Chain A
Amino acid sequence: AQSVTQPDIHITVSEGASLELRCNYSYGATPYLFWYVQSPGQGLQLLLKYFSGDTLVQGIKGFEAEFKRSQSSFNLRKPSVHWSDAAEYFCAVGLPSGSARQLTFGSGTQLTVLP
């Protein structure tokens, strides 16, 4: 069965420290890959996406992610975290075929930023 795994339920970092959030997927083919951020009580905002091409993708708010086919991973990174980055982060995948357009989400990683 297809699945998306975010191994870290909760991560705490100090402001200014670097950040890496992990995402692994299990699909028969290379899916389309996304990272979304959700602030409390809000909807989801798209941070970045990967469809094809360069495996290092840049997103908004200083985030980047790297697709590694050999590891079936799409980890999210940020060199220096700001207090406003505290939120929940979701990795999502979509299958690039057929009429299906649904996204499958991981269970999320809650990020806490210490002053």
Chain B
Amino acid sequence: NAGVMQNPRHLVRRRGQEARLRCSPMKGHSHVYWYRQLPEEGLKFMVYLQKENIIDESGMPKERFSAEFPKEGPSILRIQQVVRGDSAAYFCASSPGTGSSYEQYFGPGTRLTVT
């Protein structure tokens, strides 16, 4: 039973480029969460999505960041015009649509480096 999958695992972008991070939830999970981990810090919540809906984006920066979880395919976190401060590890988590929605299962993360 495959876990949460994220790709790419490592991504290098120059300042001003776009970064696209992908997340495939565990089989049977319909809720996806994105978190960001800056060096030497804990994870910070960014956004919570269900299929075709953004439920809570209170942790998303107001500009340049967007997320989607389409009916088909993986969830995408998109960062436009990246800056050095966007360098971080981005983790996706998923949970079932019912019951213990708080029990989140994490992917291995995408480590973004902005040069």
Contact = CB atoms under 8 A, between A and B. Distances in A.
Genuine A/B complex: yes
Interface of A: 4, 32, 34, 36, 42-46, 49, 51, 90, 92, 94, 96, 99-108
B56 A101 contact: yes
B95 A43 contact: no
Interface in B62-115: 91, 93, 95, 100-109
A4 B71 CA distance: 35
Given A90-B43, A105-B44, A42 B108 contact: yes
A46 B105 contact: yes
B4 to A, nearest CB: 7
Contacts of A101: 31, 33, 48, 55-56, 95, 101-102, 104
Contacts of B58: 102
Contacts, number: 66
Interface residues of B, number: 28
B106 A108 contact: no
A21 to B, nearest CB: 14
Given A32-B102, A99-B55, A102-B33, A43 B45 contact: no
B106 A36 contact: yes
Contacts of B56: 99-102
A44 B6 CA distance: 13
Contacts of B106: 36, 43-45
28 contacts: A43-B91, A43-B106, A43-B108, A43-B109, A44-B43, A45-B106, A46-B104, A46-B105, A49-B100, A49-B102, A49-B103, A51-B102, A90-B43, A92-B43, A96-B102, A99-B56, A100-B48, A101-B31, A101-B33, A101-B48, A101-B101, A101-B102, A103-B45, A104-B45, A105-B35, A105-B44, A106-B42, A108-B41
A-side interface mostly: strand
